[in-house]
């Protein structure tokens, strides 16, 4: 058989072609390796933000209390400003857990400075990590003034998840040289602070069928056999239907299924295996926390308790009184002379007379079901607090608390602002062992703790809605291949 010879020119051509591909292959290999190893990452997104930079109002009256801060605060711009001042003046705890319904803002403060300033360069987002780039402008020349620069950066509503925010600061110093300002860069993009915060889901985005439950419900974390999520313990963290104190994020209610076997083949919660527990906890009155005023008969605290998802006061003898009205820290009610303010439970505050020109006082009446039950003259700076009744014993809790925050003149009349209003019901729910609420029975009521258990087995039939007690229930998904259910609060 003849032997075919390959010309040397062909070998040379192949060798040169191979060599020409080597750099290309090397580059491709590097890129692939970089992608696989995470060396090449997605570029951060530069957000279109509109910062609000202002002078903190507390600079004039609380110089020693305003310090630098980087935080997340919810609300619109006026609400954020008020919340910020509450944090630095009254040392209110900073919130770190929010809802997907909250409008969020980054807040940067330099504290009290000798004429310094803040400028926001840009805000970047990469995944769930935000980076705020700010410029701190120092004055090289003593201007002889104090400033309190604060920057609010609205970022809006966020999806449920865990987030991180970084503050990177470039510090510069401006010097006056005749009519010119000379800027000197002191340090560049130094990471000054890192904060972590969470955004929790609400019922509207839990991603499961509501079936027979109304649109106003609040749902808890799902027990889902097929996905391996065997949640059998709920509290204020994973069930929005339970009451949770917004100041401390503490919840007093828990719901536990104390049963090992629960699946598609065994869709029954046995008798006494579903346990609802709640207990009282001391909570500060808003007027005590933010105005340092103590309501009559109290030490500034009241025993709060969650009961079937609502906020109550825990009174002596295992009696619960529902809190039927409460202003949050940012709410203000303005009343003019002759106007009335209708509260819950048939209560009404009437402004009989307001004097904004002389001693700054207001004469108010308290009505119950259109009948006057009390009146009092309040004045700013010395009798701003109103409690009803005035002579409650130390062991009791007042029915109404409100605070006169300001009196002022309008073009045609005078007006007064009221804040931190708190109102409880006069009606009580007495709790004792053996009492029945829905399908739950009180099995213990002592030491300011109440426990209820299911008095009969609960069938988790596919597609079934089970009323436990009050507006608290269990919704079972219609799936027949795997057990899926969750607790909820709402009307059926």
Tens digits of pLDDT across the chain (492 residues): 443 333 333 333 444 444 444 554 554 454 444 444 444 446 788 998 889 888 775 444 444 445 688 999 999 988 898 888 878 776 667 888 888 878 999 999 988 777 678 999 999 999 899 999 999 988 765 555 777 889 999 999 888 788 999 999 998 887 777 667 777 888 898 888 999 998 876 543 343 333 343 445 688 899 999 988 899 999 988 998 999 887 777 889 999 999 999 999 999 999 999 999 999 999 999 999 999 999 988 999 999 999 999 999 999 889 999 999 999 888 899 999 999 999 999 999 999 999 998 889 999 999 999 999 999 999 998 889 999 986 665 457 999 999 999 999 998 999 999 999 999 998 999 999 999 999 999 999 999 999 999 999 999 999 999 999 999 999 998 888 899 999 999 876
CATH number at 203-270+457-489: 2.60.40.4190
- Of 382, 379, 376, 381, nearest to 400 by C-alpha is 376
d(CA 483, CA 492): 21
CATH number at 281-429: 2.60.98.40
d(CA 485, CA 463): 9
Q: Are 433 and 374 in contact (CB under 8 A)?
A: no
d(CA 376, CA 120): 50
Domain ranges of the chain: 46-200, 203-270+457-489, 281-429
Run of H or E residues at 54: strand 52-55
Q: Are 384 and 291 in contact (CB under 8 A)?
A: yes
The predicted pLDDT at position 324 comes to: 95
- Of 328, 287, 285, nearest to 303 by C-alpha is 285
The predicted pLDDT at position 313 comes to: 95
Q: Which two tokens stand for residue 110?
A: 């330099």
Enumerate the β-bridge partners of residue 199: 98, 161
The predicted pLDDT at position 42 comes to: 60
236-260: b or e for each residue (b if 16 or more CB lie within 10 Å)? bebbbbbbbbeeeeebbbbbebeee
d(CA 89, CA 62): 7
The predicted pLDDT at position 492 comes to: 63
Q: Are 170 and 136 in contact (CB under 8 A)?
A: yes
Predicted confidence (pLDDT) per residue in 38-88, tens digit: 444 467 889 988 898 887 754 444 444 456 889 999 999 888 988 888 787
The predicted pLDDT at position 6 comes to: 32
The predicted pLDDT at position 396 comes to: 75
Task: Starting at the earlier edge strand, list the strands of the sheet with 104-110.
Answer: 52-55, 149-156, 104-110, 68-74
The predicted pLDDT at position 335 comes to: 95
Q: Could you tell me which residues come within 8 angstroms of residue 91 by beta carbon, excluding any fewer than 6 positions away? A: none
Q: What is the pTM of this model?
A: 0.60
d(CA 83, CA 109): 13
């Amino acid at each position: 058989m003849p032997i075919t010879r390959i010309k040397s020119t062909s070998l040379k051509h192949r060798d040169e072609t191979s060599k020409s591909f080597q750099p290309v292959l090397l580059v491709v290999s590097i890129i692939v390796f970089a992608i696989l190893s995470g060396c090449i990452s997605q570029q951060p997104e530069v957000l279109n933000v509109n910062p609000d930079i202002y002078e903190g109002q507390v600079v004039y009256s609380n110089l020693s209390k305003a310090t630098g801060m980087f935080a997340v605060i919810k609300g619109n711009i006026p609400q954020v400003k008020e919340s910020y001042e509450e944090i630095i003046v009254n040392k209110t705890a900073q919130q770190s857990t929010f809802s997907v319904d909250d409008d969020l803002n980054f807040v940067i403060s330099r504290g009290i400075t000798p004429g310094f300033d803040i400028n926001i360069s840009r805000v970047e987002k990469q995944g769930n990590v935000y980076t705020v780039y700010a410029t701190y402008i120092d004055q090289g020349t003593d201007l002889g003034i104090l400033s309190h620069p604060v920057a609010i950066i609205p970022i809006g509503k966020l999806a449920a998840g865990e987030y991180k925010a970084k503050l990177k600061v470039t510090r510069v110093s401006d010097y006056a040289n005749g009519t010119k300002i000379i800027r000197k860069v002191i340090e560049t993009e130094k990471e000054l602070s890192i904060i972590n915060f969470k955004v929790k889901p609400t019922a509207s985005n839990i991603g499961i069928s509501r079936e027979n439950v109304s649109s106003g419900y609040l749902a808890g974390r799902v027990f889902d056999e097929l996905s391996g999520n065997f949640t059998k313990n709920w509290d204020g963290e994973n069930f929005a239907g339970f009451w949770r104190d917004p100041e401390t994020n503490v919840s007093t209610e828990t719901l536990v299924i104390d049963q090992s076997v629960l699946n598609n083949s065994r869709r029954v919660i046995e008798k006494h295996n579903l346990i609802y527990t709640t207990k009282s906890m001391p909570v500060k009155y808003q007027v005590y926390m933010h105005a340092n005023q103590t309501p009559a008969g109290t030490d500034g605290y009241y025993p709060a308790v969650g009961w079937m998802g609502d906020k109550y006061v825990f009174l002596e003898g295992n009696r619960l009184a529902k809190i039927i009205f409460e202003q949050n820290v940012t709410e203000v009610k303005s009343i003019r002379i002759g106007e009335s303010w209708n509260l819950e439970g048939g209560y009404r505050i009437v402004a009989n007379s307001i004097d904004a020109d002389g001693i700054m006082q207001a004469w108010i009446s308290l009505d119950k079901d259109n009948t006057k039950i009390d009146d009092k003259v309040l004045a700013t700076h010395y009798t701003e607090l109103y409690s009803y009744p005035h002579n409650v014993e130390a062991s009791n809790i007042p029915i109404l608390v409100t605070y006169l925050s300001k009196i002022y003149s309008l073009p045609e009349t005078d007006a007064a602002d009221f804040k931190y209003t708190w109102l409880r019901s006069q009606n009580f729910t007495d709790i004792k062992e053996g009492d029945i609420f829905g399908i739950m029975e009180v099995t213990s009521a002592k030491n300011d703790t109440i426990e209820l258990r299911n008095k009969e087995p609960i069938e988790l039939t596919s597609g079934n809605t089970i009323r436990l007690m009050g507006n608290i229930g269990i919704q079972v998904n219609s799936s027949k291949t795997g057990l899926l259910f969750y607790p909820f609060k709402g009307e059926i």
